[in-house]
Amino acid sequence: MTVLDEMDRKILDVLQGDGRITNLELAERIGLSSAPCMRRVRTLEETGVIKSYVALVDAARVGLGFDVIVEVRLKQQTRESFARFEKKVTGLPEVVECCMIAGDWDYSLRVVSSDLARYQSFILDRLMHPDSDIASYRTTIILRKIKSTTKIDSSLF
């Protein structure tokens, strides 16, 4: 775990809101000169605190407004079946998030699609193929997102 001070937290708060900000603008916003600001950002990158910089795409605006949560239970809970399943879902572009979970289900997937028919085709033709390790699944359709963020508030760390 990396220990962060108040200045690091300020940097992370700003960069999570605008990853394209220049170093000069960032330094001004957090009250630090440019060179030390750049050193701190590089340290945050090198230690893996900052994993990457990305553009967040609005799925609905590119025709992928059908958003669902799929809970999956495997036939067997073994390292081998977990590994096979994880390898399979990482290769499915419709799956934008996959989490191993505790409880009644083994995995929770977030899947995007253009519509119900394409989603059904994804389930039947790609996820639940005959040699699948999946015993059962449950779909929850997301009607409206109330909160969806990639930002981790610095007050939490």
Domain spans of the chain, in order of start: 6-46, 59-141
Mean of the per-residue pLDDT values for the chain? 96
- Spatial CA neighbour of 113 closest among 44, 64, 43, 55: 64
pTM, entire model: 0.88
Mean pLDDT value of segment 36-55: 96
pLDDT on residue 8: 97
Fold for the domain defined by 59-141: Alpha-Beta Plaits (3.30.70)
Return the CATH fold of 6-46: Arc Repressor Mutant, subunit A (1.10.10)
**Residues 6 or more apart from 150 whose CB is under 8 A from it?**
16, 56
Chain centroid to CA 38: how far?
Answer: 27
Q: Is the pLDDT of residue 130 over 90?
A: no
Q: Output the pLDDT for position 129.
A: 84
Report the b/e string of 33-65 with b at 16+ CB within 10 A.
eeeebeebbeebeeeebbeeeeeeeeeeeeebe
